[in-house]
Structure 1
Amino acid sequence: MGNEDFPHLPTFDASDAQTYNALCHCGTVQYTVTLSPPLAQQKVVECNCSICSRNGYLLVYPLREQMVVKSGEEELRSYSFGIKRNLHKFCGRCGSAVFFDPRMLAFGESPDLLGINVRMFKDVKLDKLQIVHWDGWNKSRFIDSDHLQ
């Protein structure tokens, strides 16, 4: 997240925020995400790194407290690779890639963000999103992803 080329992360403004309902494919994991500005004004990141491209992530980066899991938290499973920093969270029943946790505070960084997959938002209109591309394949290489080439 510290790269100056990475899309600018907006400042949270409660007067310009919207809460979105989201869920995994099977509906076990249900949660809300509050974004400021609202999704239509967010720059949604499409990364081409190995995990993002395979999971189809389209990401926004709210603060941790702006995501509230309503049900199914006990069904969330984690996967990490490379330097084992990011915990990719997915539903243990249907396999939906819900979000990833870069554990910023644990690594002495701030703000405490999550990478939320907007494909899980109810009624999301992908063709209405402002998608920006991030070259994570070349800028965020992992030591154990050579088998994916």
Structure 2
Amino acid sequence: MPLATYRGRCHCGAVRFEADADLDAGTVRCNCSICTRSRFWLVFVTAERFRLLAGEEKLSDYRFGAQRIRHRFCSVCGVKPFGMASDGSGVAISVNCLDELTPERLAALPVTYVDGAHDRWDASPAVTSYL
């Protein structure tokens, strides 16, 4: 499927966005500490393909480790709908925050597993079933 525009939001709807993405090109599940604890399932888009529609004032940031990603979360409901590269080049969108994706569509999305826990973005972790 080619590039399509998806709308998404946090749980309470205070933060809303849209993005142009090709979900069939692949999604990512990572085993780093924050992705594992938050069950973050993502699709990457370039900064130009992401538009924050509402809620900038409700967003809080969390950074850790190498500080490469601004993990953005809603200060009202606590959901992290996306994270942004610190250099402004791209956005990691939570697939689970995209509106109108049926369980069947979600189940059919291709997933690449990455070993972020060991900074091995080019390799899969030994165990992925918990991601």
> Shorter-chain TM-score: which interval?
0.7 to 0.9
Instruction: Tell me the amino acid that sits aligned with residue 19 of structure 2.
Output: V
C-alpha root-mean-square deviation of aligned residues, in Å?
Answer: 1.4
What is the CA distance between 1:104 and its match in structure 2?
A: 2.9
Q: Does 1:135 align with 2:115?
A: yes
The percent identity for this pair of structures is 34
1:1-149 matches, cutoff 5 A: 16-35=2-21, 38-39=22-23, 41-104=24-87, 112-124=89-101, 125=103, 126-139=106-119
Corresponding residue of 1:144: none
What is the CA distance between 1:17 and its match in structure 2?
A: 1.6
Residue segments in structure 2 that go unaligned for 5+ positions in a row: 121-131
Residues 67 and 86, structure 2, Cα contact 8 Å, conserved in 1: no
- Over 3 Å off, 4+ runs: none
The alignment covers a number of residue pairs equal to: 116
- 1:98, 1:78 → 2: CA distance? 12
Residue segments in structure 1 that go unaligned for 5+ positions in a row: 1-15, 106-111, 141-149
